[in-house]
Amino acid sequence: MGLLMYGEISEKSENSTPPAMPEITLNCIVRDKPTEVFQVSIDKNASIDRFKETFREKLPDIFGSIGTIGIKVWFVQVAQNDTRLAQFTYDMRPIGTILGTTPAYEVTQATRSVESHLEYINVDSDEIHCQIHRHRRKTKTCKKKKRKKRSKRKEDDDGDDDEGEEEFFNHSDDDLDYYNVYALFIGVATMWQFLKRKISNEITACDTKFANDLSTHDTKINATFNAERGRIYAEINNKLTAEIGKIKARDDVFTKEAQKILSMVNNITTRLNTIEEACRNDFSAINASIENLQNEMIRQYAVARRIQPVETDQLSMADQSETSNQSHANSSGSSDSGPITFRGISLTVWTRFKQLFDQIRDEKGLNTEEICLLVAMEIRELGGKIKKNTIQGFYERNITKRGGYISTLDDIGLWIDSKNNENLDSNSE
């Protein structure tokens, strides 16, 4: 009973059905393309042979034409941006030699499970976990050695072998040169990719640093601005608070003074109310008596003026004259002119005229000249004849007697009567 061949092992591993276990996802690279990282998911209990078959299915262009025995697998743990990955393309040394102390394990037994090779590999990290490449046959460049002389027959028998051997070695040298050139090209391309990535990382780092510096400066500027604004606000607030305090203090003083004045006014008002309450009846009686007397005097004067206008005027003139010692007859016939002295009935008529004159002027909002003209026109409507200047002179008590009697007294009395009658009519209504 012999050992199983790789094909039989592969068939056995494919036909076997392992128990369902959680899958693991590994970050993988091909040695000739270390910058192209791809992921492979597989059951942890699957065999290495099944693992290799997965690569044949995933990368048919690279591994589709070879069997699983021609695929070499290394489990590693190295960063994706590690610069040593570029050496994989041109350095033919083993992966473990290139990586040095970095964990790297070559798979040598196809029947073992994948999980058994991951004891020191952290599959949860974003680093590279697996490296694969085609199995390279070791070839050596051999120089043709001198052979000892043999029989011609032996040389004839071995001639074909020598030519085949020489041709084999020459072909191996060409393959090695081809792989070296290809590896050099891949190495240069990989280094260029790493250089581009490094430049991009540097640019990104510079951009990040610039953005951080700019953000820091913005933060400082904002902090300075906020501090200055806070200081200004605090200063303004303090000044306003101080001014408000002063204004409030003055308002308090004014309020106290106003309350004091109001208290005094209230006291005075109270006293006046008390006095008015005590004297209200007396004042009412006195006012009524005065008003009755005034109305009676006006009525009596109007009656007397209608009955004896000439005698009444002469009597009034006699009462008003303080300097004349002549008799009543001489005074009435005198043709001298002089200013009147308003006494007696004349004073009563003037007083009533002034009351009505001022009342109408205030009600209508007229000046002295306008009210005088209005009174003159109303007297003419009543049948009298008087001028505006005469009305103004009588109102200002600046009029002279003429013809022995005051010619204007009748006209003014007529106007006063009309106004009194209007007041009586309005009161009766």
pLDDT at 180: 67
Q: What is the pLDDT of residues 26-83, one digit of tens each?
A: 999 998 888 889 999 888 888 888 888 888 888 888 887 887 778 889 899 888 888 8
pLDDT above 90 (res 232):
yes
Q: How far apart (Å, rounded) are the C-alpha atoms in residues 13 and 43?
A: 13
Query: What tokens were used for 107?
Result: 């798979």
The CA distance from 331 to 252, in Å, is 74
Tell me what pLDDT residue 312 has: 43
Mean pLDDT of 147-153: 45
Is the pLDDT at 317 greater than 50? The verdict is no
Q: Please give the angle made by the CA atoms of 91, 92 and 97, to the nearest 5 degrees.
A: 80
Task: Inform me whether the pLDDT recorded for 351 exceeds 70.
Answer: yes
Alpha helix positions (H), 64-151 = 95-99
Mean pLDDT of 226-231: 91
What is the reported pTM?
0.30
Give the pLDDT of residue 199.
Answer: 93
Q: Would you place residue 156 in the very low, low, confident or very high pLDDT band (cuts 50, 70, 90)?
A: very low
Share of the chain above pLDDT 90, in %: 9
The mean per-residue pLDDT over the stretch 228-235 comes to 92
Catalogue the long-range contacts made by 293-301 (C-beta closer than 8 Å, 24 or more residues apart).
294/348, 294/352, 297/348, 298/348, 298/352, 298/416, 298/420, 301/345, 301/348, 301/349, 301/413
Give me the pLDDT at residue 227, please: 92
Q: Is the pLDDT of residue 340 over 50?
A: no
Quick check: 102 pLDDT over 50? Answer: yes
Q: What is the pLDDT of residues 107-146, one digit of tens each?
A: 887 778 888 888 888 888 889 989 888 876 544 444 444 4
Confidence of residue 407 (pLDDT cuts 50, 70, 90): low
Sign of CA dihedral 26, 36, 104, 46: positive
Give the per-residue pLDDT at 280: 65
For residue 11, pLDDT over 80 is answered with no
**pLDDT at 2 (0 to 100):** 42
Q: Which residue has the tokens 């040598």?
A: 108
What pLDDT, in 10s, does the model give residues 359-402? 999 998 989 889 999 998 998 888 888 888 888 888 888 776 55
pLDDT of residue 147: 45
What are the φ/ψ torsions at residue 315 (nearest 5 degrees)?
Answer: -65, -40
Q: How high is the pLDDT of residue 228? A: 92
pLDDT of residue 265: 87
In 326-362, which positions are buried (b, 16+ CB within 10 angstroms) versus exposed (e)? Answer: eeeeebbebeeeeebbbeebbebbbebbeebbeeebe
Q: Would the pLDDT of 358 be above 60?
A: yes
User: Looking at residue 179, what is its pLDDT?
Assistant: 59
- The pLDDT score that the predictor gives to residue 309 is 45
